[in-house]
């Protein structure tokens, strides 16, 4: 309930912070990155996430934030500060997330956010990497008898406002000359409740979130059907502000390090045994030779810290997404038919 | 003290002594000017700092600014709209206009209904009937104590518990109540209907003029001519005759279950209904107290004196009590109308697309946060000032003319 109120206020607060300019970039010094300097001084990475999407970011029974987005935050924190525990999770809504990032309320955003031209061009943001290649899907009740998206002419669809899903559905219906009635509710729990109570014929968002939502329904999951149609490309990624390229590099190469680790078979458990490796790629990755970390303004053991904290990209997937019953598909490594491909670390 | 005219108050040409302002701190006039210049300077400086700082920060973060987005194709879906809207061809400007209209739709109808309900409950609290007095008191005390947001979510959840379209609650083949809203038959609107409506407006003006004339006659002769035959003629017979002569078709469009939902007819969505219900029920609680206090503010002696003059109870209320009660009622009532309008922004919580909801979506899709919030503020300011102006005019209109 409170989230509902704070989300609107959050956007306003962000706007006000921008007005007051309390977080104007400090003069370049040290690493040459205002954000990285601020992070080091603060001893904390402020990471914007949702906090309410199973598989991406949701506190477990111990109150520990779990999920792919949460682990992305941890990985970047481990790279920047050497200790993943120094991450501070900041809950954001679909509506206030960009303002929070723009105004400096958070250092980065890892909140199932789709990489689009508009967001990079208009919002002053940059997408450092994609942690989930997703697409818009539809979740319906089996009792409705709908089997494909094309059968949904005239349907009422529950969507969260301010998302790229909103635009994707609109495009899909326009393309297929069909009509729909949107029900736009900001709060995740409210909109899911509206769908379950039958206010909408379908609930639409990223297929990943639909799969995890369906999974979270427990025994009732069988009453829900995820339609096979994926109507748009939704690459979800980690976002930073424009104008701080050094910080952008830190976030981008953290992903590259996790992918390289997976390519080389380095895991959270066995990373120490690789410290004696003779493979030059591994030696550079783990900071034994070359000054890769220094080039980023970090410790040379940055990638070692990342792998020690969250493991490689595959481990992150297995830990968070596999339990939700979603196959890795195109999110696999390029060597296994997926899209994740890291440039060389040298 | 020979010359009494030395006293300047006694001189025929009284004028304050001319005194040039000295630029000394001991001169009050000079001090006042210095303070005013300083304060205005500080205010202007702070505003200038905020604006320039914002502009610099926006530029530093490479965020586009300006209202150019208003002319861009919106592409955002909108659930209910009073004017035609197609996201593929209409602009953000039109989307925002729809938001304003939706806010007004809630605010105007909400204010009318809340006033009616609040007045009934307020009078109910003064009732000599124990049950009525207690029930209305219970209503006021309960409703005022629960946050409006909770009430809205309560009503919305309640409406979602209604059956699905396939098991709709129905009255014949015309009215259906489902979790998709209330479906009503709709008159297919033709130009003849517009003419009938125009005739009705003319009739209203006629009745107003006639009652003015009747009052003049009453003042002059003491006999009031009957007004109701003329009223009936102008308001019922005349529009009916116009309708029949022009041959206004009475084609009714019925809602029909097709595919997922009912098609055709008039729809009152659960989102709109929950918001309206929540606002009306909540605000009526406050209005009831205002009405009660207003009536209780009229001294008992006024009722008795009016009775002693031989006035009927209806006339006592209309001529003696209400004019005095309204003086007390109107100013706080204005605040309640403003509150209701502003509270309608809670629509975001239950998915009704008012100006806040649409502006929020717009600022999210375009990234123009400051412009979007400026639009929201301008809209509420305009609506609120209009309500205030009207209510102040009305307050001045009904104020007792003191002689």
| Interface check A217 vs B, CB under 8 A | no
Residue count of chain A, please give it. 346
Domain count for chain A, please give it.
Answer: 2
Task: Tell me the backbone φ, ψ of residue B77, rounded to 5 degrees.
Answer: -75, 145
CATH superfamily, domain at B92-163+269-398: MetI-like (1.10.3720.10)
Instruction: Tell me which chain B residues have a C-beta less than 8 angstroms from the C-beta of A191.
Output: 351
- pLDDT tens track for B39-52: 999 999 999 999 89
Q: Are B290 and B148 in contact (CB under 8 A)?
A: no
Mean pLDDT for A127-134 is 94
Query: Higher model confidence: residue B257 or residue B109?
Result: B109
Helices (H) and strands (E) in chain A, counts: 13, 12
Task: Tell me the backbone φ, ψ of residue A200, rounded to 5 degrees.
Answer: -120, 155
CA A334 to chain CA mean position, Å: 20
Q: Is B172 exposed, middle or buried (0-12, 13-18, 19+ CB in 10 A)?
A: exposed
Instruction: Tell me the C-alpha to C-alpha distance, in Å, between residue B167 and each of A182, B163, B181.
Output: 22, 6, 13
- Residues A25, B360: C-beta atoms closer than 8 Å: no
Which of A152, A156, A186 is closest, CB to CB, to B180? A156
Mean pLDDT for B144-166 is 90
Phi-psi region of A139 (alpha: psi -120 to 50; beta: other; left: phi over 0): beta
- Same domain for A175 and A82? no
Instruction: Give me the pLDDT at residue B22, please.
Output: 77
Which residue, of A209, A232, A255, is where some domain finishes? A232
- pLDDT tens track for B120-138: 999 899 888 999 999 999 9
Mean pLDDT for A64-69 is 94
Instruction: Give me the pLDDT at residue B5, please.
Output: 53
Q: Is B184 exposed, middle or buried (0-12, 13-18, 19+ CB in 10 A)?
A: middle
Q: Is A243 exposed, middle or buried (0-12, 13-18, 19+ CB in 10 A)?
A: middle
Q: Rounded distance, CA A310 to CA A274, Å?
A: 16
- Same domain for A302 and A209? no
Which residue, of A232, A253, A287, is where some domain finishes? A232
- pLDDT tens track for B4-18: 455 555 555 555 666
Residue B116 has pLDDT above 60, yes or no: yes
Query: Domain extents for chain B?
Result: 27-63, 92-163+269-398
Q: Does A26 map to a domain?
A: no
Q: Are B92 and B72 in contact (CB under 8 A)?
A: yes
- Same domain for A175 and A66? no
Residue A108 has pLDDT above 90, yes or no: yes
Instruction: Give me the pLDDT at residue B402, please.
Output: 63
Q: Which of A14-18, A98-102, B221-225, B258-262 has the lowest mean pLDDT?
A: A14-18
Instruction: Tell me which chain A residues have a C-beta less than 8 angstroms from the C-beta of B373.
Output: 11-12, 15
Q: Does A268 map to a domain?
A: yes
Residue A165 has pLDDT above 50, yes or no: yes
- pLDDT tens track for B307-333: 899 988 888 888 888 888 988 899 999
- pLDDT tens track for A271-324: 999 999 999 999 999 999 889 999 999 999 999 999 999 999 999 999 999 988
- Same domain for A318 and A202? no
| Interface check A12 vs B, CB under 8 A | yes
Q: Rounded distance, CA A275 to CA A273, Å?
A: 5
Mean pLDDT for A202-207 is 92
Give chain B's end-to-end CA distance (angstroms, integer).
46
Instruction: Give me the pLDDT at residue B15, please.
Output: 59
- Same domain for A265 and A117? yes
- Name the band, by pLDDT with cuts 50, 70 and 90, for residue B190: confident
Q: Does A25 map to a domain?
A: no
Q: Does A21 map to a domain?
A: no
Q: Does A309 map to a domain?
A: yes
Instruction: Give me the pLDDT at residue A26, please.
Output: 43
Pairing type for strands A125-134 and A234-241 reads: antiparallel
Chain A with chain B: Cβ pairs closer than 8 A = 156
Q: Does A346 map to a domain?
A: no
- Same domain for A203 and A260? no
Instruction: Give me the pLDDT at residue A246, please.
Output: 93
Mean pLDDT for A103-114 is 92
Sign of the CA dihedral A110, A116, A119, A121?
positive
Cβ neighbours of A98 (radius 10 Å): 28
- Same domain for A199 and A264? no
- Same domain for A116 and A208? no
Instruction: Give me the pLDDT at residue A235, please.
Output: 94
- Same domain for A75 and A207? no
Q: Does A333 map to a domain?
A: no
Cβ neighbors of B220 (< 8 A, separation 6 or more) are none
Full domain range(s) for residue A168: 136-232
Q: Of A124, A125, A44, A16, which is closest to residue A111 (Cα–Cα)? A: A125
- pLDDT tens track for A299-309: 999 999 999 99
Instruction: Give me the pLDDT at residue B14, please.
Output: 57
Name beta bridge partners: B91.
B73
Q: What's the CATH code of the domain at A102?
A: 3.40.190.10
Residue A206, H or E segment: strand A202-206
- Residues B63, A193: C-beta atoms closer than 8 Å: no
Instruction: Give me the pLDDT at residue B10, please.
Output: 55
Minimal C-alpha gap between A84 and chain B (Å): 28
Supply the mean pLDDT for chain A.
87
Residue B347 has pLDDT above 50, yes or no: yes
- Same domain for A126 and A36? yes
Mean pLDDT for B254-268 is 79
Q: Are A72 and A238 in contact (CB under 8 A)?
A: yes
Task: Tell me the backbone φ, ψ of residue A116, rounded to 5 degrees.
Answer: -130, 165
Instruction: Tell me which chain B residues have a C-beta less than 8 angstroms from the C-beta of A102.
Output: 61, 63, 369
Which of B88, B270, B366 is closest, CB to CB, to A122? B366
Name beta bridge partners: A225.
A140
- Same domain for A142 and A123? no
Give chain A's end-to-end CA distance (angstroms, integer).
49
Q: Rounded distance, CA A157 to CA A149, Å?
A: 12
- Name the band, by pLDDT with cuts 50, 70 and 90, for residue B364: confident
Closest residue in A to B81 (Cα) is: A181
Q: Which parts of B21-89 fold into alpha helices (H)? A: 28-60
């Amino acid at each position: 309930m409170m989230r509902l109120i704070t989300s609107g206020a959050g956007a306003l607060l962000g706007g006000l912070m921008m007005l007051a300019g309390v977080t104007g970039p400090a003069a370049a010094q040290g690493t040459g990155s205002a954000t990285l300097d601020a992070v080091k001084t603060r001893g904390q990475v402020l990471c914007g996430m949702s906090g309410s999407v199973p598989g991406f970011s949701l506190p477990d029974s111990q109150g520990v934030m779990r999920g792919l987005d949460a682990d992305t935050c941890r990985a970047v924190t481990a790279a920047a500060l050497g200790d993943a525990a120094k991450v501070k999770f900041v809950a954001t809504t679909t509506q206030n997330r960009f303002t929070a990032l723009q105004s400096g309320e958070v250092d980065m955003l890892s909140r199932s956010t789709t990489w689009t031209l508009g967001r990079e061009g208009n919002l002053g943001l940059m997408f450092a990497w994609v942690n989930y290649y997703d697409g818009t899907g539809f979740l319906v009740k089996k009792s409705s008898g709908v089997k494909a998206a094309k059968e949904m002419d005239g349907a009422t669809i529950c969507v969260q406002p301010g998302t790229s899903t909103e635009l994707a559905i609109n495009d899909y219906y326009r393309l297929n000359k069909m009509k729909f009635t949107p029900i736009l509710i900001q709060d995740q729990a409210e909109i899911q409740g509206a769908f379950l109570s039958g206010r909408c014929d379908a609930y639409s968002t990223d297929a990943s979130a639909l799969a995890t939502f369906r999974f979270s329904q427990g025994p009732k999951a069988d009453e829900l059907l995820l339609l096979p149609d994926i109507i748009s490309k939704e690459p979800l990624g980690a976002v930073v502000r424009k104008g701080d390229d050094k910080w952008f590099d830190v976030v981008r190469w953290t992903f590259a390090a996790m992918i390289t680790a997976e390519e080389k078979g380095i895991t959270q458990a066995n990373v120490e045994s690789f410290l004696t490796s003779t493979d030059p790629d591994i030696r550079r990755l783990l900071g034994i030779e070359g000054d890769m970390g220094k080039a980023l303004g970090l410790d040379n053991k940055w990638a070692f810290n990342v792998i020690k904290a969250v493991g490689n990209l595959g481990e992150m997937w297995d830990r968070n997404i596999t339990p939700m019953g979603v196959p890795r598909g195109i999110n696999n490594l390029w060597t296994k038919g997926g899209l994740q491909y890291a440039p060389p670390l040298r | 003290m020979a010359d009494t005219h030395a006293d300047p108050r006694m001189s025929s040409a009284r004028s304050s002594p001319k005194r040039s302002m000295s630029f000394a701190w001991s001169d009050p006039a000079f001090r006042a000017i210095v303070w005013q210049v300083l304060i205005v300077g500080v205010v202007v400086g702070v505003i200038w700092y905020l604006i320039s700082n914002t502009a610099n920060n926006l530029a530093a973060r490479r965020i586009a600014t300006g209202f150019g987005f208003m002319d861009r194709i919106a592409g955002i879906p909108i659930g209910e709209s009073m004017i035609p809207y197609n996201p593929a061809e209409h602009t953000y400007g039109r989307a925002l206009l729809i938001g304003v209209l939706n806010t007004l739709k809630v605010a105007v109808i909400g204010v009318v209904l809340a006033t009616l309900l609040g007045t009934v409950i307020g009078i109910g609290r003064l009732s000599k009937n124990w049950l009525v007095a207690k029930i209305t008191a219970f209503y006021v005390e309960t409703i005022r104590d629960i946050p409006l947001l909770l009430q809205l979510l309560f009503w919305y959840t309640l409406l979602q518990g209604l059956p699905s379209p396939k098991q709709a609650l129905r009255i014949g083949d015309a009215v259906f109540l489902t979790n998709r809203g209330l479906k009503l038959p709709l008159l297919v609107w033709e130009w003849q209907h517009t003419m009938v409506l125009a005739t009705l407006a003319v009739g209203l003006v006629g009745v107003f003029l006639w009652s003015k004339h009747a009052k003049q006659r009453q003042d002059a002769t003491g006999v009031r001519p009957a007004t109701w035959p003329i009223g009936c003629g102008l308001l019922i017979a005349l529009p009916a005759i116009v309708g029949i002569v022009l041959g206004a078709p009475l084609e009714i469009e019925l809602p029909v279950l097709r595919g997922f939902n009912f098609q055709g007819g008039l729809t009152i969505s659960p989102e709109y209904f929950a918001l309206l219900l929540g606002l009306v029920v909540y605000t009526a609680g406050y209005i009831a107290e205002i009405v009660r206090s207003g009536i209780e503010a009229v001294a008992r002696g006024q009722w008795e004196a009016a009775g002693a003059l031989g006035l009927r109870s209806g006339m006592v209320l209309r001529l003696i009590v209400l004019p005095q009660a309204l003086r007390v009622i109107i100013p706080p009532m204005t605040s309640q109308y403003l509150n209701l309008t502003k509270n309608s922004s809670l629509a975001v919580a239950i998915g009704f697309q008012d100006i806040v909801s649409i502006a929020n979506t717009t600022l999210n899709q375009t990234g123009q946060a400051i412009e979007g919030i400026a639009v929201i503020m301008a809209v509420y300011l305009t609506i609120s000032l209009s309500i205030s102006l009207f209510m102040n005019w009305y307050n001045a209109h009904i104020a007792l003319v003191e002689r």
